[in-house]
């Protein structure tokens, strides 16, 4: 019995997405289900068309379930509705505004608040902090709102509008983090802290800080707990990465599929939340166990 996962980024572009996908694959394989992965990169102009095509192909091929990452909360409503009419179970990562059989959401706002709290423990009251925002998807926006609220609560001074295109890493890759951080550094002569919204953005931000000679000036924290970011934390270059438990997210998504397909449960749109997680500090980074040492990362089978 096959399951299709529509991944929002090409393999290798975002390590936490890759790890989540491997965890879905591992969880389904243990239950005797076969995962196929189709890629619909949200940065491409035709991502929605590609998503609709994948869903239509999967339904025609008789898959038992489809998992997709909710990029636009209003899409792909029609394709999903038709798939469900054909008896295919549908699970969403992040909750869309149309019916699905089940969904998983990240506690994004909490992540943002707790990350700001940790940064505040490294800085004096009133310290000036910049934020590199994300592409503007629902989960990224919630995370940034958590940053903004947390900085206010913990007495830090936010210097920029993280929703402004000048400071948002819409590409969601390292080069975008570099570009947007260069804008921040050009616009603000002094920064005490910087929150790149995720680890790939942080890698680019650190490139920009190093290039401009301001690396030692700024405390940085980011989200995802990816290997390269953890390494920089262990080296003292980066100051913390919030581990959102990518493997746990993948397992939860896989478990929802198993409940729907094998256990034939009627989940009625059940929405579950992933673990809030924790900050990987320099001390924790030195004992961090890589994802592929916790579960096997078998080659993914593409659709």
Q: Would you give per-residue pLDDT tens digits along the chain (303 residues)?
A: 999 999 999 999 999 999 999 999 999 999 999 999 999 999 999 999 999 999 999 999 999 999 999 999 999 999 999 999 999 999 999 999 999 999 999 999 999 999 999 999 999 999 999 999 999 999 999 999 999 999 999 999 999 999 999 999 999 999 999 999 999 999 999 999 999 999 999 999 999 999 999 999 999 999 999 999 999 999 999 999 999 999 999 999 999 999 999 999 999 999 999 999 999 999 999 999 999 999 999 999 999
In a 10 Å sphere around its CB, with 0-12 CB exposed, 13-18 middle and 19+ buried, how is residue 124 labelled? exposed
Q: At the topology level of CATH, where does 108-243 sit?
A: Rossmann fold (3.40.50)
Q: Which residues contact 170 (CB under 8 A, 6 or more apart)?
A: 43, 134, 135, 136, 176
3-state secondary structure at position 44: coil
Strand order in the sheet with 241-243: 222-223, 241-243, 278-280
**Domains 2-105+245-274+289-293 and 108-243 fall in the same CATH topology:** yes
Domain ranges of the chain: 2-105+245-274+289-293, 108-243
Q: ω into residue 76 within 30 of 0, thus cis?
A: yes
CA angle 109, 115, 116 (to 5 degrees): 95
Q: At the topology level of CATH, where does 2-105+245-274+289-293 sit?
A: Rossmann fold (3.40.50)
pTM of structure: 0.96
């Amino acid at each position: 019995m096959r399951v299709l996962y529509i991944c929002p980024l090409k393999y290798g572009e975002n390590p936490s997405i890759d790890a989540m996908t491997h965890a879905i694959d591992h969880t389904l394989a243990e239950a005797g289900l076969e995962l196929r992965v189709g890629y619909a990169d949200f940065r491409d102009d035709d991502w929605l068309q590609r998503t609709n095509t994948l869903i239509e192909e999967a339904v025609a091929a008789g898959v038992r379930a489809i998992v997709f990452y909710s990029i636009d909360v209003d899409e792909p409503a029609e394709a999903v509705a038709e798939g469900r009419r054909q008896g295919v179970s549908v699970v969403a990562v992040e909750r869309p505004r149309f019916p699905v059989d089940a969904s998983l959401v990240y506690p994004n706002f909490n992540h943002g608040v707790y990350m700001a709290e940790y940064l505040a423990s490294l800085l004096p009251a009133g310290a000036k902090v910049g934020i590199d925002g994300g592409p503007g998807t629902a989960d990224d926006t919630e995370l940034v709102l958590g940053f903004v609220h947390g900085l206010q609560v913990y007495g830090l001074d936010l210097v920029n509008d993280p929703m402004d295109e000048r400071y948002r890493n819409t590409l969601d890759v390292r080069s975008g983090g570099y570009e947007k951080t260069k804008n921040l550094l050009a616009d603000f002569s002094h920064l005490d802290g910087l929150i790149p919204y995720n680890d790939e953005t942080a890698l680019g931000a650190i490139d920009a800080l190093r290039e401009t000679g301001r690396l030692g000036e700024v405390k940085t924290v980011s989200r995802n707990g990816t290997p390269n970011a953890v390494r920089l934390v262990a080296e003292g270059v980066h100051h913390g990465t919030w581990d959102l438990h990518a493997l746990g997210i993948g397992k939860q998504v896989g478990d929802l599929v198993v409940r729907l397909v094998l256990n034939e449960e009627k989940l009625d749109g059940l929405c579950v939340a992933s673990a809030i997680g924790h900050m990987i500090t320099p001390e924790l980074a030195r004992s961090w166990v890589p994802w592929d040492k916790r579960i096997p990362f078998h080659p993914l089978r593409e659709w």
